Amino acid sequence: MKQAWSLLEVVAPAAGLLDITDRVVRWTSEQRLSSGLLTLFCRHTSASLLIQENAAPAARRDLQRYFDRLAPESVAYEHHEEGPDDMPAHLRSALTQTHLGIPLADGRLWLGTWQGIYLFEHRRRPPRREIALHLIGE
């Protein structure tokens, strides 16, 4: 059994879904394991991780608009130290996920045909993000 880990640094250009699939797949391939489990963990409370549709951009835009309606910016929030998008970003992160587990078989991540790995950035002016990668297998 082997293990590998790394930090993937990401800066999204804006709020929304940023495809990180290629970077994750490239790092995973470099580890030269044939089977195992990849865990991704977002080290932040105002961004999250999703496996989502990777072929139709409209699906990602609809998802973003849905979360904009579900957790809108508002002066009604008590927590707003970092601006009006601060608390909505925390709510959106709480409603999604900060970690993913993806099986590895035959040296490849077992993503479905239309699945991609995304950082779901919830801030309008995103800071640098760190995604922890941990691969265990053989």
| CA–CA distance, 85 with 6 (Å, rounded to integer) | 29
> Strand 115-121's sheet: what is its strand order?
16-19, 115-121, 47-53
Find the domain containing 41 and state its range: 2-137
Measured CA to CA, the distance from residue 99 to residue 43 in angstroms comes to 9
Q: Taking CA 118 as the corner, what is the angle to CA 15 and CA 112, rounded to the nearest 5 degrees?
A: 150
pLDDT of residue 80: 86
Q: How far apart are CA 131 and CA 38, in angstroms?
A: 12
The domain total for the chain is 1
Residue 33 amino acid letter: L
pLDDT of residue 44: 97
Where do we find the tokens 């900060």? 98
At 91-112, the pLDDT tens digits run 999 999 999 999 999 999 999 9
pLDDT, tens digit, for every residue of 10-19?
Answer: 999 999 999 9
CATH number at residue 104: 2.60.120.460
Q: What is the pTM of this model?
A: 0.95
Sign of the CA dihedral running 50, 21, 104, 46: negative
The CA distance from 27 to 17, in Å, is 20
The per-residue pLDDT for range 35-88, each reduced to its tens digit, is 999 999 999 999 999 999 999 999 999 999 999 999 999 989 999 888 899 999
